[in-house]
A and B are shown apart, each in its own frame.
Chain A
Amino acid sequence: MEETPSAAPKRELALVSHATYVKEKALRYLFFACAFLAVVTVILIFAFTTYSAFPVFTDIGLANFFSLTWAPSEGEYGIVSLLAGSGLVTVGALVMGVPLGVGTAVYLVEIASDRVRKIISPAVDLLAGIPSIIYGFFGMVIIRPFVAQISDGLGFGALTAWFVLAIMIVPTITTLTMDALNSIPMGIREASYAMGATKWQTIYKVVLPAAKLGIVDAIVLGMGRAIGETMAVLMVVGNAPVIPSSIASPISTLTSQIALDMSYSSGLHRSALFGMGVVLFIISATLVGIVRLISKKRR
C-alpha cells in the first residue's frame, strides 16, 4: 500500500487502499450528480421555457399577455380567459372530486371490512393508472352526450370537464388521504370509542381533525393534477378561448390551448404558448411548495 502523505490525514479511519478510497469518493460524486440532475432539470425546464417565451416580455408586453382577448391572428395574446377556464374547470372538479375522494378514503380506512377493502383499494389504484387519454375518450363519448341532453348544447364545456377531472383526481385524493388516516395512532380512536362516541362522531371529531393537514395535502396535489391535465380536458371543453358564459358552453384552458395551438403556431403566437407554459410551471411549483410547507408543519 503506497500512500501519499497528503491524502493520509483526510482518511485517518479509512483503512482501505488509495485506489479504493478514490473509487469510493468518485462513486459518491457520481451518485450526487445523478441526484442533482433533478435540480438541474427543474431549472432547465424553467429557463428554457422562459427563454422561448422571452418575446412575451419584449414584443407582446405583459399588459397584452394578461389581457382578456386571445386572438393570435390579430395580435391579441391575452390569457385571462384561459386562466379563467383553467380556474373554473379546476374548482368544479375539486367540488365534485374532494368529497368523493375523502369519503372513499374514510370508508376504506375507518369503516370497511377487510374483505371489502381488499376489493376497493386495488380498484382505486387501478383508477389512478388509467391514462388521461382514456378518461378524455370516455368523457367525450359518454359524458358529453349526457351533458348535451341536459343543457341543450353540444356538451362541450366546463360541466363535462368537471365530471372527467373529478373522476381523475379521486384516486390521487383517496390514496393520499388514506395515508394520512393510516398514520393516525389507533389509540386516539380507541379513546374516543371508550367515551361512548359512535363511529361517525369519532370520524368527524377525532380522526378528520387529526388528519386535517394530510387531507389538505391531498387536495392541493389533486388540484395540481386538475390544473395540469391536458388531454382529457382538451377532448371535452370545446376549445373556445372566451370568458365562460355558462358551465355548459365551450371554453378553453391554458393546457388545452397549448396542446391545440402548438401544431400550427409560429413566431409570437408560439412564444405566447411558451409563456403560458411558464405560468403553468409557476402554478405547479407553487402548489408543490405549499404541500412541502404543510408536510413540514405536520412533522
Chain B
Amino acid sequence: MADQSTQTDELTSRERIKRALSHGKAGRISKDTSNKVMLGVFRAAAYITTLVLVAIIAYVVINGLPHISPDFIFGWPEGVNAEGGIWPTIVSTIYVTALAMLICTPIAVLAAVYLAEYAKQGRLVNIIRYAADALASVPSIVMGLFGYALFVEAMGLGLSMLSAAMSLALLMLPIVMRTTEEAIRAVPRYIRWGAYGLGATKWQVVSKIVLPSAFGRIATGIVLAIGRAIGETAVVLYTMGQAINMPITPLDSGRPMTVHLYLLANDGINMNAAYGTALLLMIIILAFNLFSRYLSRRSR
C-alpha cells in the first residue's frame, strides 16, 4: 500500500497542492474547525468504548459482590432453584480447562516450531496457515456440534470432561500456535547462529536455545488461550453435559460455570446466584488476561 502511494505521489501531489490552495478560499468551514470537530468525534468513540467496558464490569461487580461468600464458592447447589454454592461448576471448569491445555499445548507448540523453524515457505505452509485461520474462526457452536458428533457419539466418550477438553483444545490450538510462532520468530537470529556454529543440530538449537528464550511469550499465549477456554460456553454445552457433578475421572460429565450461568439466567430461577457466578467467572478470566499481559511485558 505504502509503495503504491509513493509511486503515484508524482502524479497527484500537484493536484493536491492546487486543491489545498483553493480549499480555504471557497469560504467553507475552516480546516481548524473541522479538525477540532472530527478529533472530538474520534475521542467520543474511544470514550464510549471505555465507558461500555467500565459499565459492564461495574454492573457485574455491584450486583455480584453481595452474593459472593465462602459458602457460595465452596458450597453445592441445592434444590430446584440451585440455592447454595457453585463449587462443582468451578471444579468442572478448572478440570476441563487444565485437560484442554495439556492436550493442546504440546501439539500447538510443536506445530509452531515446524512453521517457524523447519518449514519452507510454499503451498503446504500456506494450506496449514489457512487451516489454522479457519480453525480460529469456526463458530463455537459448530465446534460444539463437531465435538458432539465425533468425540461424544462416534468415539463413544459420552458427555464427558474428555470430550469437552478435546473440543476446547481445538479452539485453543490456533491461538497458541500463532503466539508461539511469533515468539519463536522474535528470538534473534544470531543466538541460533552461535549455537549452529558450535555444531549443534537443529533439534538441539530448538530445544536448548530457541524454546527457552521464547518461553515467556509462549506462556503469554497459553494463558490467553486458557482465558478464552474458561469463558467458552457453546463448545462445552453439548460436549460436557449439564448435570451438576463433581468430576473425578476424565470420563465424568459435569457442568461448567458458563453453562451454569446460562441456565440460571435463561430460566430466571435464581438471579442472585447468576450474578455471583458471572462475577466469579469474570474475575477468573480478567485475572488470566492481566497475568498474560504481565507475562508479555516481563518477557519483552
* Residues of A bordering B, CB below 8 Å: 15-16, 20, 23-24, 27-28, 30-32, 34-39, 41-42, 44-45, 48-49, 51-52, 99-104, 106-108, 110-112, 119-120, 122-127, 129-138, 140-142, 167, 170, 174, 184-185, 188, 195-201, 203-204, 209-213, 221, 224-225, 227-231, 235, 255, 258-259, 262-263, 273-274, 277, 280-281, 284-285, 287-289, 291-292, 298
Q: A41-B131, A41-B170, A125-B289 are in contact. List 7 more A-B contacts (CB 8 A).
A: A34-B107, A39-B131, A134-B278, A203-B38, A230-B233, A262-B145, A277-B141
A49 and B127 within 8 A (CB): no
- Judge if B272 is at the interface, Cβ distance under 8 Å: no
Given the known interface contacts A24-B202, A133-B261, A230-B234, the answer about A288 and B130 at a Cβ–Cβ threshold of 8 Å is: yes
Q: Point out the residues of chain B lying under 8 angstroms from A167, CB to CB.
A: 52, 56
- A120: min CB distance to chain B, Å: 5
B5 at interface by CB-CB < 8 Å:
yes
Q: A185-B2, A210-B2, A288-B133 are in contact. Are A133 and B258 (CB under 8 A)?
A: yes
Scoring B residues 158 to 178 as 1 if CB is less than 8 Å from chain A, else 0, what string do you get?
A: 000000000000100110010
Once the chains bind, are B46 and A231 in contact (CB under 8 Å)? no
User: With A and B bound together, what is the CA distance between A130 and B283 in angstroms?
Assistant: 10
Whether A125 and B293, one on each chain, are in contact in the complex, defined by CB atoms closer than 8 angstroms, is yes
- In the complex the two chains form, what is the Cα distance from A263 to B259 in whole Å? 13
Chain B residues in 8 Å Cβ range of A24:
201-203
How far does the Cβ of A6 sit from chain B's closest Cβ, in whole Å? 21
Q: Which residues of A contact B86 (CB under 8 A)?
A: none
CB-defined interface of B194-231 with A at 8 Å, one 1/0 digit per residue?
00000101110000000000000000000000011011
- Of B27-35, B73-81, B245-253, the segment with at least 4 beta carbons within 8 Å of chain A is B27-35
Q: A42-B131, A126-B289, A127-B49 are in contact. Are A284 and B137 (CB under 8 A)?
A: yes
Contact partner of B49 among A174, A197, A228, CB < 8 A?
A174
Instruction: Tell me which residues from 102 to 138 in chain B have a Cβ below 8 Å from any Cβ of chain A.
Output: 106-108, 110-115, 118-119, 127-128, 130-138
A198 to B131 alpha-carbon distance, docked (Å): 44
Residues of B within 8 A of A44 (CB): 146, 150
Residues of A within 8 A of B228 (CB): 129
Question: Are A108 and B46 in touch, CB under 8 angstroms?
Answer: yes
Q: Is B95 an interface residue, CB under 8 A from the partner?
A: no
- Complex: chain A residue closest to B16, CB-CB: A195
User: A residues within 8 A CB of B44?
Assistant: 103
Query: B274's closest neighbor in chain A, by CB?
Result: A137
Is A107 touching B262 in the complex (CB atoms < 8 A)? no
Chain B, interface residues (CB within 8 Å), range? 35 or more
Known: A129-B286, A137-B278, A262-B238. A230 touches B20 (CB 8 A): no
Q: Are A129 and B133 in contact (CB under 8 A)?
A: no
Q: Is the CB of B281 within 8 A of A134?
A: yes
Q: How far is the CA of A207 from the CA of B17 in the complex (A)?
A: 18
Is the pair B149, A31 in contact by a Cβ cutoff of 8 Å? no
B238 touches A31 (CB 8 A): no
B residues within 8 A CB of A284? 134, 137-139, 142
Which of B17, B43, B53, B106 has the largest number of chain A CB atoms within 10 A?
A: B53
Proximity string of chain B (136-156) to chain A, C-beta cutoff 8 Å, 1 when within and 0 when not? 111111111110111000100
- Is B7 in the interface zone, CB < 8 Å from A? no
Q: Which of A37, A127, A199, A285 contacts B39 (CB 8 A)?
A: A199
Known contacts: A45-B142, A231-B234. The answer to whether A126 contacts B286 by CB under 8 A is: yes
Chain A proximity of B42: nearest CB distance (Å)? 4
Docked complex Cα distance between A209 and B2 (Å): 10
B289 contact set on A, CB distance < 8 A: 125-126, 129
| Residues 261-273 of chain B, each 1 if its beta carbon lies under 8 Å from chain A, else 0 | 1100110000100
